[in-house]
């Protein structure tokens, strides 16, 4: 059956999201991952390879902001073993109707006590640099999450709203984090789960998270994937996150190298990464 059953897949198709109470990660992995978060945000990159984006470091980061690193799997073996788990890849492929899932990016997110919100946005809006623009996300809680601690919030059905690229949204610590979806409050779903639970959402689903009003930390591991056939789009390499990632494009070739965008799961097991 895997991580998602037929009922979950039907709800995902209708709503652009589905919450999962538990089982997205081996419970024995949670404490080791929390420890590796400490190391990563202190600048300790176990493999010697830095992540692609480091948006917060212990020595210089604003303590009120949510801490974020992108593609920590390249820097840390424990994170890689979770991000590249084929079970998650298979679930993403099933929900997307894909023959396989290719990792585009991971995020390690840490909202400390008192941490400010993350503004509502759509992941696909920053993804025009590859084609097809068809991304799905798995969000995994590494702490028990409540609305008070800044749970992930998603707007049910917003994946069916008209697509738009590069929206003018404030991501880190906006005064009104729900501003882009004002008027849709009745359709907002908060993902309140125990550690090890989380959610899947469509790349066009609007989502964000509120401030952490508790004394507890709220850490999460996020996996963004695209169909296994995804390729660089040379017409849009300078849009969205393209300037960060098109340096991995082989000269004269639009293929996404497995070394940098590994195949997490494929129906024929071709190139499946073993972290």
66-77 residue pLDDT tens: 999 999 999 999
Q: For 15-32, what is each residue's pLDDT tens digit?
A: 999 999 999 999 999 999
Mean pLDDT throughout 52-57? Answer: 84
Domain ranges of the chain: 6-266
pLDDT, residue 220, reads 98
Give percent of the chain above pLDDT 90: 86
Q: What is the pTM of this model?
A: 0.94
Which tokens go with 88? Answer: 């998650």
Residue 1: pLDDT band (50, 70, 90) is low
Q: How many Å apart are CA 218 and CA 215, to the nearest integer?
A: 10
Residue 273: pLDDT band (50, 70, 90) is very low
pLDDT, residue 170, reads 84
pLDDT at 270 over 50: no
pLDDT at 234 over 80: yes
pLDDT, residue 169, reads 80
**Longest Cα–Cα distance in the chain:** 52
pLDDT at 274 over 80: no
Q: For 240-253, what is each residue's pLDDT tens digit?
A: 889 999 999 999 99
Helix H, strand E, coil C: the string for the chain is CCCCCHHHHHHHHHHCEEEECCCCCCHHHHHHHHHHHHHHHCCCCCCCCCCCEECCCCCCCCCCCCEEEECHHHCCHHHHHHHCCHHHHHHHHHHHCCCEEEEEEEEEEEECCCCCCEEEECHHHHCCCEECCCCEEEEEECCCCCHHHCCEEEECCHHHCCCCCCCCCCCECCCCCCHHHCCCHHHEEECCCCCCCEEEEECCCCEEECCCCCCCCEEEEEEEEEECCCEECHHHCCCCCHHHHHHHCCCCCCECCCCCCCEEEECCCCCECCC
Superfamily of structural domain 6-266? q2cbj1_9rhob like domain (2.60.120.620)
pLDDT, residue 57, reads 76
pLDDT at 275 over 50: no
Which tokens go with 273? Answer: 């990464």
pLDDT, residue 44, reads 94
Q: For 142-196, what is each residue's pLDDT tens digit?
A: 999 999 999 999 999 999 999 998 766 888 889 999 999 999 999 999 999 999 9
Residue 269: pLDDT band (50, 70, 90) is low
pLDDT, residue 272, reads 45
Residue 55: pLDDT band (50, 70, 90) is confident
Better-predicted residue by pLDDT, 230 or 167:
230
């Amino acid at each position: 059956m895997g991580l998602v059953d037929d009922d979950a897949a039907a709800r995902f198709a209708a709503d652009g999201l589905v919450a999962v109470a538990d089982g997205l990660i081996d419970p024995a992995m949670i404490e080791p991952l929390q420890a590796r978060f400490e190391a990563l945000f202190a600048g300790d990159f176990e493999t010697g390879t830095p992540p692609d984006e480091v948006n917060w470091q212990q020595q210089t980061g604003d303590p009120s902001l949510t801490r974020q690193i992108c593609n920590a799997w390249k820097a840390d073996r424990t994170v890689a073993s979770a991000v590249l788990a084929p079970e998650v890849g298979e679930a993403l492929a099933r929900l997307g109707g894909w023959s396989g899932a290719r990792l585009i990016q991971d995020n390690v997110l840490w909202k400390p006590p008192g941490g400010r919100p993350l503004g509502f946005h759509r992941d696909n809006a920053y993804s025009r640099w590859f084609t097809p623009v068809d991304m799905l996300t798995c969000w995994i809680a590494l702490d028990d999450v409540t609305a008070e601690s800044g749970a992930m919030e998603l707007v049910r059905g917003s994946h069916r709203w008209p697509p738009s690229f590069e929206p003018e949204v404030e991501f880190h610590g906006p005064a009104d984090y729900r501003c882009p979806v004002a008027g849709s409050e009745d359709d907002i779903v908060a993902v309140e789960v125990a550690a090890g639970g989380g959610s899947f959402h469509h790349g066009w689903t609007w989502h964000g998270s509120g401030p952490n009003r508790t004394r507890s930390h709220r850490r999460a591991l996020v996996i963004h994937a695209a169909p296994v056939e995804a390729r660089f789009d040379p017409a849009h390499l300078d849009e969205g996150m393209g300037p960060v990632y098109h340096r991995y494009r082989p000269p004269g070739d639009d293929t996404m190298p497995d070394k940098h965008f590994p195949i997490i799961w494929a129906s024929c097991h071709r190139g499946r990464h073993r972290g």
